[in-house]
Structure 1
Amino acid sequence: MASKAAAQAAKQLRVGIIGAGGNTKLHHIPKLQAIPGVDVVKIANRSEESAAKVCKELGVKEASGDWQDVIQDSSLDAVVIGVWPYLHRTLVLEALQAGKHVLTEARLAMNASEAREMYQASLRHAHLVTQVVPSPLTYDYDATIQDIIKQGTLGELLYIEVRAISNSFAEADGAPLTWRTDQRYSGLNIGVLGIFYEPLQRWVGDATAVQARAKTVVRLREDQQTGDLRTVHIPDHIDILAEMAIGAQAHIVVSSVIGAVPGFSKGYVLYGREGTLFVDLAAKKLQLGLKSEGGQLKDVTVAEGKIETWKVEEEFVAAIRGEGSIRRTTFEQGVRYMEFTEAVTRSIQSGCTVKLPLLT
């Protein structure tokens, strides 16, 4: 083990960071620094002052207020992109062109077209590793749920219910505008829709059609930079009916404006001919009710070896070193969830069912 660590250290991997937000400071920087032979050497943030502050906190050498300083630094092998979606396409394309491996925050892009362009660029630079930060919501349960489905325990899947409800009442008009509520920065991403759809993709695959209805309750928000009120174009409540490739119908609710929710507010229910699987993320429990046992929900014990932990940075580095491959999340997977998100928006705008995958 010691000799392996020494060999890794000899092959130093130099990483630059663009955007030092919460996830970057909590996960990416310290967890990259913990890997033998990896050196986080430069951070570019909105200002050199804010970058310098993070550098001091986390022991990084160089600070910059210009992302080009990271992209154009020929001494760097890889780039971590921690900014909002509005810059993902530009930074990914520039980084790949500069010969750098790329780990980018989710959501992958502003829309499906950008996502496809980024994926195609990754194929043209196939010698470089590209990865999207995955949804970690269901790490504790993913392997167990996949086993239950593969073993046929639920039988034919008939219906899936997904709830992503903040369980808080609507803010008043004039509440602060955030990047998630500002289409200039988030594009066609709607709240936490992508974060909740991605685990569903892991378990049962993609949707083949969606029909959506939406409501914008908080119509005006205050731009914190200018003090101006801005019209909000991203809905804060959506209902989606989706046809899944596996044959089940899914009902997905994403809402940040309803409170005192009875039952569960965050999680999934998978209904099959032979059983029902309940994933309550708020209560942190996994339950299974079998037809053969009267349908009573019982707790599922998740084996310790089935519980996955956050290993995004380890997977990224291992892939660069040729010691593994990207499993979560590839750019190709990112394109698929961006197409789903865009299909939801198209359905909201048209009032029609939208088929997947999108043709254009």
Structure 2
Amino acid sequence: MAAKTGAQALDKIRVGIIGAGGNTKLHHIPKLQAIPGVEVVKIANRSEESAAKVCKELGVAQATGNWQDVISDPSLNAIVVGTWPYLHRTLVLEALQAGKHVLTEARLAMNASEAKEMYNASLRHPNLVTQVVPSPLTFEFDATIQAIVKQGTLGELLYIEVRALSNSFAEKDGAPLSWRTDQRYSGLNIGVLGIFFEPLQRWVGDAVAVQARAKTVVRLREDQETGELRSVHIPDHLDILADMAIGAQAHIVVSSVIGGVPGFSKGYVLYGKEGTLFLDLAAKKLYLTKKGAEGQREEVAIPEDKKEVWRVEEEFVAAIRKQGSIRRTTFEQGVRYMEFTEAVTRSIQSGCTVKLPLV
């Protein structure tokens, strides 16, 4: 039996959780519980014991080790998918078919094909709200950067530099295998690539062509469940050149094996004909240098009313109640960053430039 949705706004929203990882425990569960009229009713985790532990910790009534118990529960209106990407497609499609609104953890899917299938399913259920957890890296700066680009302060954009460096030296072979380094669970997602590319899409739009090189430094990792060594198929260093639709060329470096980085290790630089904008994520500072004032870098003050904060759960609930719409991140936006991610992998494998959107 599907939950009542559509034109009727829901005052009482009952939520089921599938996958109680770090983000789910830190953000989704407590922040949903803080919204009047929202109740987190049931949690499914990899085992009933682990689900029960989270239920006790966060005051949730029901625990299960079977995700189907959550999706099939007719009393629930909405599902939060907090698993690794390998289950996102299955859980989202099943939840939509059961008439549930869905908030899914990022990255959206294992690959672009899965992402498109999920997006198309969402279109077949226009009465249901679907949302992907957005990259929160640049929330505080997004509105200001978008305004600076739109106003033409930088002039025509020529070149964009993105650095996503761990600033730590490579681990030894045999280091623990995590879901981010295990293609069985993460698919074509590579490290923090998607998390860093998504904000760039917000500011300047999509890429139209990608050429990438990659290196796998830590080639063997220990499976923590079996103790066996596994070959790693996800690169830990990426070097990407992308042609952006706005006309600029972007150089993106993502690495978990580079230590002792001089200068900035995490951030963005947008170079235009009339100015350069530099976001240093480590320092949480935004700087602008204008043409004719080279060497006079000025910090850009971010007005309080322009500083966006994490409100993923509020936005999800407001959309269910017909009190707002999903801005960050829609399934359509998720498809676009998954296409970029897959284009990077295709370029690595072929040694060729890959055009976007994918065909």
Q: TM-score, normalised by structure 1?
A: 0.97
Task: Give the Cα separation in 2 of the matches to 1:73 and 1:212.
Answer: 45
Quote the Cα distance in structure 1 between the aligned partners of 2:10 and 2:81: 26
Q: Counterpart in 2 of 1:67? A: 67
- Mapping of 1:158-197 within 5 angstroms? 158-197=158-197
Equivalent residue for 1:260? 260
Contact 2:211 2:353 (8 Å CA) reproduced: yes
RMSD: 1.1
Residue matched to 1:335: 335
Residue of structure 1 in register with 2:88 after alignment? 88
Q: Corresponding residue for 2:320?
A: 320
The structural deviation recorded for 1:334 is 0.2
Q: C-alpha distance in 1, partners of 2:294/2:196?
A: 30
Question: 1:111 is matched with which residue?
Answer: 111
Letter in 2 for 1:253: V
Aligned to 2:35: 35
Cα 1:325–1:10 change in 2 (3 A) is closer
**Matched position secondary structure for 1:89:** helix
| Equivalent residue, structure 2, for 1:58 | 58
8 Å Cα contact 2:82/2:104 also seen in 1: yes
Show structure 1 runs of 4+ deviating over 4 A.
none
Q: How many residues align?
A: 352
Q: Which amino acid aligns with 2:308?
A: E
Instruction: Report if the CA contact (8 A) 1:286-1:300 is conserved.
Output: yes
2:6 — aligned with what? none
Matched to 1:95, the amino acid is A
1:293 and 2:293 correspond: yes
Contact 1:48 1:64 in 2 (8 A): yes
Q: Deviation digits for residues 295-341 of structure 1, max 9, x if unmatched?
A: 52111100011100100000000000000000000000000000000
Paired residue type of 2:146: Q
One-letter code aligned to 2:272 = G
Determine what percentage of the aligned residue pairs are the same residue: 84
CA apart distance, 1:292: 3.4
Aligned to 2:146: 146
SS of 1:122's equivalent in the other structure is helix
Q: Work out the CA distance in 2 between the residues paired with 1:271 and 1:159.
A: 5
Q: Determine the structure 2 residue equivalent to 1:5.
A: none
Which ranges of structure 1 fall in alignment gaps of 5 or more residues?
1-8
For 1:341, the aligned partner's letter is: T
- CA shift for structure 1 position 262: 0.5
Pairing of 1:230-269 with structure 2 (within 5 A): 230-269=230-269
* Secondary structure of 1:293 counterpart: coil
**Which one-letter code corresponds to 1:45 in the other structure?**
N
Q: Specify every segment of 5 or more residues in structure 2 that has no aligned partner in the other structure, as ranges.
A: 1-8
Shift of 1:284: 0.9
What do residues 220-254 of structure 1 show as CA deviations (whole Å, max 9, x unaligned)? 00000000000000000000000000000000000
TM-score between both structures, scaled by the size of structure 2: 0.97
- Amino acid of the residue matched to residue 164 of structure 1? A
Quote the Cα distance in structure 1 between the aligned partners of 2:121 and 2:295: 49
> Could you tell me whether the CA contact under 8 Å between 1:275 and 1:295 is conserved in 2?
no
SS of alignment partner, residue 253 of structure 1: strand
SS at match of 1:140: helix
SS state of the match for residue 140, structure 2? coil
One-letter code aligned to 1:146: Q
Question: Could you say what secondary structure the match of 2:131 adopts?
Answer: strand
